[in-house]
Amino acid sequence: MLSQLHDLDLQLLRLFVNVVECGGFSAAQGELGLSQSSISQQMAKLETRLGYRLCSRGKGGFKITPKGEQLLSATRSLFESIEAFRHQSNGVAGRLIGEVRLGLSEALDQSVLQRVADAIRRFRERDESVRIELISAMPGEMERLLLQQRLDLAIGYFSQVQSAFDYRELFTETQHLYCAAGHPLFTDDAPDEQALQACDRVDHPYRFLRSDEPFQGKMCSARSEQVEGTLAFILSGKHVGYLPEHFARSWEDKGLLRAVRRADMSFDVAFHLARHRAQVPGDAQKAFEEDLLAAFG
C-alpha cells in the first residue's frame, strides 16, 4: 500500500499506464525504450509497493486485473491533476512561461522551415518567457516521444494509427523514384515494367510509407531510415529509391540524379502536426500550436 507518493512511484505508475496503452510488455518495449525483462521487474516492484497484482501475463496473453483497472483510472486522473496544477501554477499574471518541445522530421523543405520560423516569430511577439526545444527525429522515434509525453507537438509523416494522437494535416511532400549516373535506367527514357523489376531498390523501414510507393520492386538489398543514406545508395549507380523532390533537386540539376517515370512512379506524402490527446496542454503549448497552424495557413 502506498502511504506516500515518491518520484519513483510516479515513474512506476507512468510505466504501468504506458504498458496498458500499448497492450502488453512486449509491445511496450519500443515505446518505452526498455527491455521486456526490465519492464517486468519494474511492474513487479510497483505491485510489491501496492500489495496486489495489476495484470496477468501468462500463456493467455496480457490482461489487466479488476484492481489494475481501478488503479489505471485513478492514475490517469492523478496525472491529469498534476499536469493541470503545473500549468495553472505556471500561468501567473497571464504571462506564458514554461517549455514547448516540438519534434521535426528530417530533411524538411526550406519553405517548411520558414513557416516553422514564422511560428516562432509569432510566438516570441507574445508576452512570454518560454524555452522552446526543437528535436529532429525519425517518425517512429517522434511517436515514441509523444507517447512518453516527452514532446508536446511533432511535425512529420506518421502512420496515423495511434489512437492516442490527434493529427492535423499541414502540407504534402512529393517523392520521386530516382536513379543515378551509371545505373541502367539513367539513359532509359521510358523503362518498362521488366526493366523496373530488375532494379535493386532501397527499402524504407516505415511500412505505412512504403505501401504508398507506386514502385514495389521485389529485389531489395539496401535499407536506410534517413534520406541521406538513401541518396548514398542511389548515387552508387546500383540502386533506385524514393527521395523528396526538394531534397533531390540540386543533385538532379547537376546531372547526377534522374527521376524514373516521373508521371506514374511519384507520390505525395502528407505531413501532420501530431499531439497526445491525453496530454493536457498548458497556455504556452496552446499558443505555440495556434501560431504553428497560423503559419501553415
User: What tens digit of pLDDT does each residue of 107-124 get?
Assistant: 899 999 999 999 999 999
Residue 32's pLDDT is 83
Question: How many whole angstroms separate alpha carbon 15 and alpha carbon 8?
Answer: 11
Answer whether residue 237 is part of any domain.
yes
CB atoms within 10 A of CB 31: 18
* Residue (of 248, 100, 70) closest to 175 by Cα position: 248
Q: Of the candidates 60, 89, 118, which is a domain's last residue?
A: 89
Selection from 28, 10, 33, 32 nearest residue 83 by Cα: 10
**Which ranges of the chain have pLDDT less than 50?**
none
180 and 237 share one domain? yes
Residues 163, 276, single domain; the answer is: yes
Task: Answer yes or no: do 232 and 116 share one domain.
Answer: no
For residue 207, the model assigns a pLDDT of 60
CB neighbours of 249 closer than 8 A, spacing ≥ 6?
Answer: none
Question: Whose CA is closest to 53, among 64, 42, 37?
Answer: 64
pLDDT at site 213: 87
Are residues 76 and 62 part of one domain?
Answer: yes
HEC sequence for the chain: CCCCCCHHHHHHHHHHHHHHHHCCHHHHHHHHCCCHHHHHHHHHHHHHHHCCCCEEEECCEEEECHHHHHHHHHHHHHHHHHHHHHHHHHCHHHCEEEEEEEEECCCCCHHHHHHHHHHHHHHHCCCEEEEEEEEECCHHHHHHHHHCCCCCEEEECCCCCCCCEEEEEEEEEEEEEEEECCCHHHHCCCCCHHHHHCCCEEECCCHHHHCCCCCCCCCCCEECCCHHHHHHHHHCCCCEEEEEHHHHHHHHHCCCEEECCHHHHCEEEEEEEEEECCCCCCHHHHHHHHHHHHHCC
C-alpha cell at 106: 528530417
Angle made by CA atoms 108, 110, 113, in degrees to the nearest 5: 70
Q: Which domain holds residue 245?
A: 172-269
How far apart (Å, rounded) are the C-alpha atoms in residues 172 and 295? 15
Total domains in the fold of the chain? 3
Give tens-digit pLDDT for 48-60: 988 899 988 777 6
pTM of the shown model:
0.68
The whole-angstrom separation of Cα 13 and Cα 32 is 13
Q: What is the pLDDT of residues 145-185, one digit of tens each?
A: 998 999 999 999 888 778 889 999 999 999 999 999 999 99
pLDDT at 62: 84
**Does 1 reside within a domain?**
no
| Same domain (yes/no): 154, 165 | yes
Identity of the residue numbered 289: E
200: its cell numbers: 535493386
pLDDT score, position 130? 95
> Last residue of some domain: 42, 59, 89?
89
Tell me if 2 is assigned to some domain: no
Question: 123 and 61, same structural domain?
Answer: no
Among residues 268, 157, 172, the alpha carbon closest in space to that of 212 is found at 268
- The three cell numbers of residue 224 are 536506410
Residues 162 and 290 in one domain: yes
Q: How far apart are CA 214 and CA 109, in angstroms?
A: 22
